[in-house]
Amino acid sequence: MKAAVVVFPGSNCDHDMFEALKLMGVTPEYVWHKTDNLDQYDLITLPGGFSYGDYLRCGAIARFSPIMTAVSSAAKAGKPVIGVCNGFQILAEAGLLPGALLRNEQLRFVCRYVWLNCENTDTRFTSSVEKGKPLRIPVAHGEGRYFADDSVIDQLEENNQVVFRYCDEEGNALKDANPNGSINNIAGIVNKSGNVLGMMPHPERAMESLLGSGDGRRIFESLIQ
């Protein structure tokens, strides 16, 4: 599998993503945001960071980078696309995923481990995740509060597009387990076709139990399978 790690001005988790993919036996390549063709890649990744300094809104400027036309084309062709943190924000700004990511409810940057329930293990991103066993994965964001109007939230829930939900260690989706105030404790969603995933937690930073958690491997294992 050959994967594109898209790099925008201000990306700072591109190396994390690159190394995580390499660790899993994937062949990653850095792809600069001015590239306009992604046909040679099997997987497209949009890593975290602060693209364009997070001016205006997070992801609002990156959404207009030339590469996003290629990302949209790849998504429409059915290729898997994963956006993590700032990558999720960019996918939402580009209209590849519904909703928006707003300032954290407490108006503070949050950087810590959280627990996630995998609500849908029947996706190409989660087939290796054990249902009912929460994942321990870190978050690091200031604008991670998922928001959408009631009709969009209802559709996401009805279509099983909510893939990850913040929870406690026992799997309970409590308010105290929600690090940013996201509606319905939403931490990650997929598009209707199921090939575009956006999530705020960083699986690429949870690859080794020695460093805190190896639960992020489940996402990459799923993609490889």
Instruction: For 134-171, write each residue's pLDDT tens digit.
Output: 999 999 999 999 999 999 999 999 999 999 999 999 99
Q: Which two tokens stand for residue 118?
A: 């995998």
**Residue 57, pLDDT above cutoff 90:** no
Helices (H), 24-169: 67-76, 86-93, 150-158
The pLDDT, as a whole number, for residue 54 is: 86
- Rounded to whole angstroms, the Cα distance separating 187 from 65 reads 25
Instruction: Tell me which of 13, 58, 85, 118 is the catalytic residue.
Output: 85
Q: Which of 118, 141, 143, 202 is catalytic?
A: 202
Which residues neighbour 184 within 8 Å (Cβ) at sequence distance 6 or greater?
A: 153, 157, 162, 165, 173
Number of domains in the chain: 1
Determine contact, residues 65/34, Cβ cutoff 8 Å: yes
How far is residue 60's CA from residue 110's CA, in Å, rounded to a whole number? Answer: 21
Q: Report pLDDT digits (tens) over 100-141.
A: 999 999 999 999 999 999 999 999 999 999 989 999 999 999
User: pLDDT confidence of 6, banded at 50, 70, 90?
Assistant: very high
Query: CA quadruple 136, 52, 5, 186: dihedral positive or negative?
Result: positive
SS3 7: strand
Domain at 138, CATH number: 3.40.50.880
**CB crowding 149-161: b at 16 or more within 10 Å, else e:** eeebbeebeeeeb
The rounded distance, in Å, linking the Cα atoms of 134 and 118 is 7
Task: Please answer whether residues 3 and 41 qualify as being in contact, where contact means their C-beta atoms are separated by less than 8 angstroms.
Answer: yes
Is 111 labeled as catalytic in the residue annotation?
no
Catalytic residue status for 85? yes
CB 134 within 8 A of CB 213: no
Q: Does 202 participate in catalysis according to the annotation?
A: yes
Tokens of 44: 């497209």
Q: CB atoms < 10 A from the CB of 100, how many?
A: 17
Percentage of residues of the chain with pLDDT beyond 90: 96
Q: How far apart are the first and last CA of the chain?
A: 10
The pTM for the full model equals 0.96
pLDDT at 191: 98
Range of 148's domain? 2-224
8 A C-beta contact, residue 145 and residue 88:
no
Listing DSSP states for 25-59 in one string gives T-EEEEEETT----TT-SEEEE--B-GGGG-SSTT
How far apart (Å, rounded) are the C-alpha atoms in residues 139 and 112? 6
